Structure 1
C-alpha cells in the first residue's frame, strides 16, 4: 500500500481504478487558460481556410500548442474564468493560439490534404489499437503531399530493459514523476514501475518501435515512409522542437511522411 500523504489524501498507487477520480481532478486543473474567444462560424476545413488563419498543422492532446502556426486539440473541455469550449467551434486561447475540442475516435473535421504536419506527444497510448489505427488513417488523409506526422510515446523496450538490467532507469523515472507532482512518490518496486505504464493515466496500449511501425502500416503509411527519430530531430525542425525535454528518458520518437 502507498504510505499516507497529506498532500494527496486517499491516494493509493496500488489501486489504479481508485485513482481515476484523483487523475480526473488533476486533468481539470491543467485544462485552464486566462482567456477564450470563440470564432464565429464553422470550423475552417480546407487548406486555404486554415492558411488564412495562419494554421499549417495540428497538435493533438494540446490545450495550447507551442507551435505559432499550430491548432491545438483535445477531447477535454478547456476553460477560462468566464468561458468553456464546445466541440465544433474554433477558439483563440490567450490571444495567440488556436484550439478546438475534438475526439480522435471520430473522423477529423478537415478536408483531404489540408494540413502540412501533425504532432502528437504521448497520446496514442491512451486509446485502444483500433481507435489508434483509425485516427492515424485520418491523420494520413488530411496530410498534404510531403507532409509529416510525428508521434512520441512511452517506449516499452526502455522499461523492460530497465527492469531486466537494473540500469537505474526505473528509479530515475520514479524521481522524475515525483518532482513533477503526479501524486505522492510511487512505490520503488521494479514490477510496479513497469506495471504503472499499463495501468495508470488511462493508458490502453503500450508501444515499442516495431509496434508503432505496425499501426502506421495498418493506417496506410509505407514502410519506407516510417522513420525512427531522436529527440527534437526530424524532417521538420519546427515540428520536432515540440518534443518536451522532461519525457526524453522514456520516449520513442517516430515520423511518417505523406
Structure 2
C-alpha cells in the first residue's frame, strides 16, 4: 500500500475540502485520560489564581506542561470516559494535575486586571483575523501584572519567503516534517504550493513576520521598546520559554513583550 492510498480522497489542491478533514483531526487530538470538574467558577483575580497554584495562562493548550499554568482552548476537551469540558465558566482538572477551561479569544477574558505573571500562546495568533488578534493581545496585556511577560510564537513569513527565493532547502525540510506528523500524504514539491499552504491550510487567517507582530503588539498597547525577538526556549522567564515545542522550530518566530512595572493600566476591563 502506498502512502497516498492511506488517505483516500485527499487532495492537496482543494484547501476548502481538506478543511473538514483537518477539523476532524483537531477533534481527535483534543483528548485526555481523565477530566474532572473542579469548580463552576473560574479564577477571577490574582488571589484566586494563587489559591489554585496558578501564575499564568497558556492559550491553545488542552493540557499545559507548565505546573502553574491554566490551559485553555476554544475546542472542547474530552476524556476516555466521554466527559466533555464544554460548560462555559467551568474549571476542569486534566489527568489529575493540570487545569483547563474552554475560552474564545475573540471574547473579553473573564479575568480581572493584573491577575497573572505570564501569558503564552504557541501557534495561535495566525488562526484569527488581525482585529481579533489585537483584541486578544489587548486583553492579555490587561490581565498581566506589571513586570509580567507575554510570549507568542507563530510561523515566520520571512522564513518561508527566504526559503522560496534562496532555495536553501527549508521548504523541502518543512514538507518532510509535515509528512512525518501525519498531515495527509506527502505534499506537492512545488515551491509556490509550499508557500501557499501556510496561508490556506490549518485554519490560518493571517501570517506574520517580526514587523507585523510588532504592529499588532503596539496596537494592543505594548511599548515598542518592550517587544523583542527571542530564540527557541530563550526568554526572560525560562519556565515560560520552555513551553516552546521542538517540532516547530524550523518555521517559527519567537517574540516576547513585557509589561513594565510603571506601565499605565489598560483602558478596558472585564469582570
- TM-score bracket for the superposition, by shorter chain length: over 0.9
TM-score (normalizing by structure 1): 0.98
User: Is the 8 Å Cα contact of residues 213 and 223 (structure 1) preserved in structure 2?
Assistant: yes
C-alpha deviation, 1:9, in angstroms: 1.5
Report the counterpart of residue 82 of structure 2 in structure 1: 82
Deviates more, 1:207-216 or 1:16-25: 16-25
39-48 vs 92-101, which deviates more? 39-48
Cα distance in 1 for residues equivalent to 2:5 and 2:92:
38
Partner of 2:14: 15
Please give the secondary structure, in 2, of the residue aligned with 1:17.
helix
Contact 2:39 2:92 in 1 (8 A): no
- Residues of 1 paired with 2:13 and 2:3: CA distance? 12
Deviations 1:198-254 (A, max 9, x none): 000000000000000000000000011101101000010000000011111101100
CA distance in structure 2 between the aligned counterparts of 1:40 and 1:63, rounded to whole angstroms: 17
Is the Cα contact below 8 Å between 1:4 and 1:10 reproduced in 2?
no
Q: Separation in 2 of the partners of 1:8 and 1:110?
A: 43
Structure 2: 5+ residue runs without aligned partners? 260-271
Aligned partner of 2:141 in structure 1 is: 140
> Secondary structure at 1:118's aligned position in 2?
strand
Unaligned runs of 5+ in 1: none
2-structure distance, mates of 1:6, 1:55: 47
**Aligned partners of 2:35 and 2:95 also within 8 Å:** yes
Give the superposition deviation at 1:5.
2.1
Q: Distance in 2 between matches of 1:122 and 1:41?
A: 29
Q: Which residue of 2 aligns with 1:61?
A: 60
Q: Secondary structure at the match of 2:183?
A: coil
Aligned length: 256
1:113-142 residue CA offsets vs partner (Å, 9 max, x unmatched)? 001000000000000000000000000000
Per the alignment, in what secondary structure is the counterpart of residue 99 of structure 1? strand
Distance 1:4 1:249 in 2: 24
CA drift at 1:6? 2.3
Contact 2:74-2:102 within 8 A present in 1 as well: yes
